[in-house]
Structure 1
Amino acid sequence: MKLELTTDQYRWIDGWLHLWGAWVQTGRIDKSMINMIAKFMATVEPQQCSRQVCSDDDGMLISRVVGAHLQQIDSNAYKVLLAYYVYQSSEIRIASWQHATASPRLMKTRGGNQYKKPSISTVRREVKDTLNAALFCLYQPMQNAFIVRDNAKKISKNVDNVLAF
């Protein structure tokens, strides 16, 4: 059974992560958080287009969620997410990079299980699946984080109004 987001859920998280990716790329986040992939991405030509950026509050909130629910659990998924949303690398480019650095591993073949390097199409499929799984894992925690923050703002505003009397 594949766990997938609905179209609306995908659009919501994809939109926020694109804004967050642009925010991270502006350098407003601690560079040590993205150091794992920074060396590889330094070789990529920078994008010359301007991107919409989320606010610092939103960026920090999303960074906390991504750090807590992805970076600590699956470093490869974190790298794929950064490459895709921060550095705007395509799934094909990410797969090419992972394929170039892949080591042989135990794989099912027609001749039985053997150690071999995965094909580029296998790696492309894995990158797509990794990205989709990362979005699925981040969706509900991000929703919850935004709801909690918005509720805290409402409570704070109500307390300020009560104290004003």
Structure 2
Amino acid sequence: MRDIHESLELWGAWAASENSGVDFSPIAAGFKGLLPQTSKSRLQCSDDEGVMIDGCIARLKKIRFDEYELIILHYVLNVSLRKIAKKRKCSDGTIRKELQRALGFILGVMHLINNHI
């Protein structure tokens, strides 16, 4: 089984290719101009895995919007954690802690989903 970072990297590419049901803005909260314009393709997860992770991300959005936005910026839009910290005017450590909370939430939801199927 893949680790959560790799799974979210693959999901991010899948979501960026407009497969995602999670409604996110391609220009999120003042990050216009920070996003690199790339046309190269990224490896993606399967549709089944993408839909499952999408559901977890949608639940995160309802409960912890700031952490949801961080997941979208980092994994879908490929904004570095350092750029996010600079834009939010906080330390890299603060952003990393917020990311860890979001990943813990996503892993917990994934665990619940996998145990009920």
| TM class by smaller structure | 0.7 to 0.9
Q: CA deviation at 1:128?
A: 0.9
How many residues end up aligned between the 2 structures?
A: 116
Question: Could you say which residue in structure 2 is the equivalent of 1:84?
Answer: 74
- Asked if 1:123 corresponds to 2:113, the answer is no
Specify every segment of 5 or more residues in structure 1 that has no aligned partner in the other structure, as ranges: 1-7, 100-121, 150-165
C-alpha deviations, 1:57-115, integer Å up to 9, x for none?
211111111111x101111101111111111111101111212xxxxxxxxxxxxxxxx
TM-score, normalised to structure 1, is 0.61
Residue type of the partner of 1:78? Y
- Between the two structures, name the one with larger relative contact order (CA 8 Å, sep ≥ 6): 2
Is this contact kept in 2: 1:41–1:87, CA < 8 A? no
Question: Could you say which residue in structure 2 is the equivalent of 1:55?
Answer: 46
Question: Could you say which residue in structure 1 is the equivalent of 2:19?
Answer: 28
Q: Structure 2 CA distance, aligned partners of 1:39 and 1:126?
A: 18
Specify every segment of 5 or more residues in structure 2 that has no aligned partner in the other structure, as ranges: none
Q: Which structure: greater strand fraction?
A: 1
Q: CA deviation at 1:137?
A: 1.4
Q: CA deviation at 1:46?
A: 2.1
Q: Structure 2 CA distance, aligned partners of 1:72 and 1:85?
A: 18
Q: CA deviation at 1:143?
A: 2.9
Question: Could you say which residue in structure 1 is the equivalent of 2:113?
Answer: 145
Q: Percent identity?
A: 26
Q: CA deviation at 1:123?
A: 3.2
Q: Which has the larger radius of gyration?
A: 1
Pairs within 5 Å for 1:81-120: 81-99=71-89
Residue type of the partner of 2:103? L
Q: CA deviation at 1:48?
A: 4.1
Is this contact kept in 2: 1:37–1:83, CA < 8 A? no
Q: Structure 2 CA distance, aligned partners of 1:47 and 1:41?
A: 16
Structure 1 outlier segments of 4+, above 6 Å: none
Residue type of the partner of 1:72? K
Q: Structure 1 CA distance, aligned partners of 2:39 and 2:4?
A: 24
TM-score, normalised to structure 2, is 0.83
Is this contact kept in 2: 1:36–1:79, CA < 8 A? no
Q: Structure 2 CA distance, aligned partners of 1:26 and 1:140?
A: 26
